[in-house]
Amino acid sequence: MSDAAIELVRINKRFGPVHANKDVSLKVMPGTIHGVIGENGAGKSTLMSILYGFYQADSGDILMDGVPCVIRDSHDAIAAGIGMVHQHFMLVETFTVLENVMLGGEGGALLAPGAAATRAKLVEMSRTYGLDVNPDALIADLPVGARQRVEILKALIKGARILILDEPTGVLTPAETDRLFEILAALREQVVTIVLITHKLREIMAITDTVSVMRGGEMVAHRRTAETDPEELAELMVGRKVLLRVDKKLARPGEPVITVTGLTIRDAAGIERVRNADLEVRAGEIVGVAGVSGNGQSELLEALAGIRAPSEGTIRIAGGPEITPVSPSDPKKLRDAGVAHVPEDRHRMGLVMPFEARESSILGYHDDARFNTGPFMDVAAILADCTNKMKNFDVRPGDPALKSANFSGGNQQKIVLAREIEARPRLLLIGQPTRGVDIGAIEFIHANLIAMRDAGAGVLLVSVELDEILSLSDRIIVMSAGRIVGTVDAADADERTIGLMMANVSQNEAAA
């Protein structure tokens, strides 16, 4: 008999021609935190979905405490003591914490007895694990970190002894991440077994006891965290040596290419998303905008790209239009003025998924003379241009006739980047350049951004990955609750100070 809390033995799963899990085996000891790390598409999510009963494995066994068990759906998983905290929370926003926690476990036609019992359990558990939340608070009023605690409580109250967390820190500030790790450590004390799925090496090193690395659907290594280091893990994930640090020379900033003064943006509902922002980007520098997702960075980026009209203030593009509330611009005019934009969400904005790659590769530049002869599009020129871009940016497969949707995330991002960078802009606006992109491609994208900067273009980089901001930027702007709360020179910046700035003001706001 095995003493592992969960053991997966030679799991296989295919989706059509894709072999998502090949003979994957995994053993997690009780009362440990086990990390599962791998690039996008390595098969982590598939494996966890099999464990939680979303998918059935084609072959292979699942053993719980050494006993084979069949998990057909999430009910079986819950019955077997497995709880899952999804990356995107599964909470009813208009319900209270208590109501969310008792959802699916009401225990009878009348709510009151079940509610009382759940409340008692909730209070007890909050105390045991240090998971303090107010049972009567509305979910909609809670910050992200607290919502995640509710998700964890939900799983524990259903009797989970094994907790799977899927990319839990993607939406958290550094401070909230630290808080989560404290909670996970407390749970480990109580012999809860935790499986942490992530692509962030730093988190693996910080919190896990053991780590398994997946690559291309296979389990390539198991390590004790204490006996490995980030370089080795990165190499295992990608299958070759990876440069984790970005090499760059000192920036030599020139004239400002964009100057923003007093920019305020209100959304359709009249809520201020960006408040009185001033900033400038000079030629030959990368300005990073740091902040927790949803603090106005997206709106700022869209306003600078001409997609959103400013409510107040001006945006001045050197040698281009001046954008004010009375004379809003459009993305076409800005492109003509040398402003290129890599949007945060390539699926929603950067590509047209049903289009062939060559059609997506001219999006926004489809009116250019080089792609048209008279009233007709120059199909040969577009094809040649796309083939060329695909070669320069190593897009795989390099097939201009393949549908945009059929490329992997990293290659889709390369198609967008190739289009915007090869337009030789004077200012590149770029949002989440490496979201959902493999480590190998991240290295390539970062090198390209540095090369653009060195060639004299200004770059405004918006990212929720603090590591990325820190390693690329020459200057860092921190946004919180729609305001620019500080500007830090990259030389003086570290994760702690930036993290505090990202969080601090939102706490002040909450108190006010």
Partner 1 sequence: MNGPGQLPRWVDVGLIPLINILAAFIVSGLVILAIGENPIKALTVMLRGALGYEEGIGYTLYYTTNFIFTGLAVAVAFHAGLFNIGGEGQAYIGGLGVGLACLAFDTTLPLILIVPLAMVGGAVFGGAWAAVPAYLQAYRGSHIVITTIMFNFIASAVMVYLLVNVMIQPGQMSPETREFAPGAWLPFVHDLLGVFGFAVARSPLNISFLIALACCALVWVFIWRTRWGYAIRTTGHNETAAVYAGIDPKRIIMLSMCLSGALAGLVGLNEIMGVQHRLLLDFTAGFGFTGIAVSLMGRNHPFGIVLASLLFGALYQGGAELDFEFATISRDMVVVIQGLVILFSGALALMVNPLMTRLFTRPARAAEGT
Q: Which residues contribute to the site for partner 1 (CB under 8 A)? A: 14-18, 305-307, 330-333, 335, 341, 343, 348-355, 359, 362-364, 366-367, 371-372, 375-377, 379, 397, 399, 401-403, 405-406
Report helix, strand or coil for 31.
coil
Report the 10 Å Cβ neighbour count for 467. Answer: 15
Closest CA to 245 of 446, 449, 394, 476: 446
Closest CA to 326 of 342, 315, 317, 340: 315
Minimum gap (Å) between residue 362 Cβ and partner 1: 8
Integer Cα distance of 75 and 394 in angstroms = 45
Minimum gap (Å) between residue 387 Cβ and partner 1: 15
Q: Which is nearer to partner 1, 121 or 403 (CB)?
A: 403
256-266: strand order across its sheet: 272-282, 256-266, 312-317, 322-323
Q: Which is nearer to partner 1, 178 or 399 (CB)?
A: 399
Minimum gap (Å) between residue 406 Cβ and partner 1: 4
Q: Which is nearer to partner 1, 319 or 375 (CB)?
A: 375
Q: Which is nearer to partner 1, 205 or 309 (CB)?
A: 309
458-462: strand order across its sheet: 339-342, 427-431, 458-462, 286-290, 475-480, 483-489
> What is the chain's alpha carbon radius of gyration, rounded to the nearest angstrom?
25
Integer Cα distance of 428 and 450 in angstroms = 12
Per-residue exposure over 394-404, b if at least 16 CB sit within 10 Å of its own CB, e if not: ebeeebbebbb
Minimum gap (Å) between residue 334 Cβ and partner 1: 8
Minimum gap (Å) between residue 348 Cβ and partner 1: 5
Q: Which is nearer to partner 1, 17 or 108 (CB)?
A: 17
Integer Cα distance of 476 and 469 in angstroms = 7
Q: Which is nearer to partner 1, 235 or 422 (CB)?
A: 422
Q: Which two tokens stand for residue 283?
A: 């030629």
Integer Cα distance of 446 and 453 in angstroms = 11
Minimum gap (Å) between residue 85 Cβ and partner 1: 29
Minimum gap (Å) between residue 304 Cβ and partner 1: 13
Q: Which is nearer to partner 1, 262 or 354 (CB)?
A: 354
Minimum gap (Å) between residue 405 Cβ and partner 1: 7
Q: Which is nearer to partner 1, 50 or 339 (CB)?
A: 339
Q: Which two tokens stand for residue 170?
A: 């993607």
